[in-house]
Amino acid sequence: MMIMSAVDSTFFTLNEVGTVIWQAADGSTPLSEIVAKHICLEFDVSLEEAQQDAEQFVSELSEHGILRLSHQPIAEAAPDPAQTA
């Protein structure tokens, strides 16, 4: 998978692990959960090593404005009024 920063036009070619993280980054799932439920189950890597590598990966993407890091999940969308009627 390739992604590009809209800020500085830097291209990133993601490996398999990076692609899994990118696809699972939904704004509400903590990185630790992505690592435990996806990376460690799909790849032969320890939790500690996977977490460290994942933190470095998302930090680099964040530095290029590709994704935003947060200690809290993004707010959930307001309910659709048509569904609550």
* Residue 11 bridge partners (DSSP): 4
DSSP code, position 14:
-
The model's pTM is: 0.76
Please tell me the predicted confidence (pLDDT) of residue 77.
44
For residues 73 and 26, is the Cβ–Cβ distance under 8 A? no
| 3-22 pLDDT per residue, tens | 988 888 888 899 999 999 99
| 48-77 pLDDT per residue, tens | 999 999 999 999 888 888 888 877 776 554
Cα angle for residues 40, 15, 49 (degrees, 5° grid): 35
Q: Which residue has the higher pLDDT, 47 or 10?
A: 47
Q: Which amino acid is at 65?
A: G
d(C-alpha 55, C-alpha 69), whole Å: 10
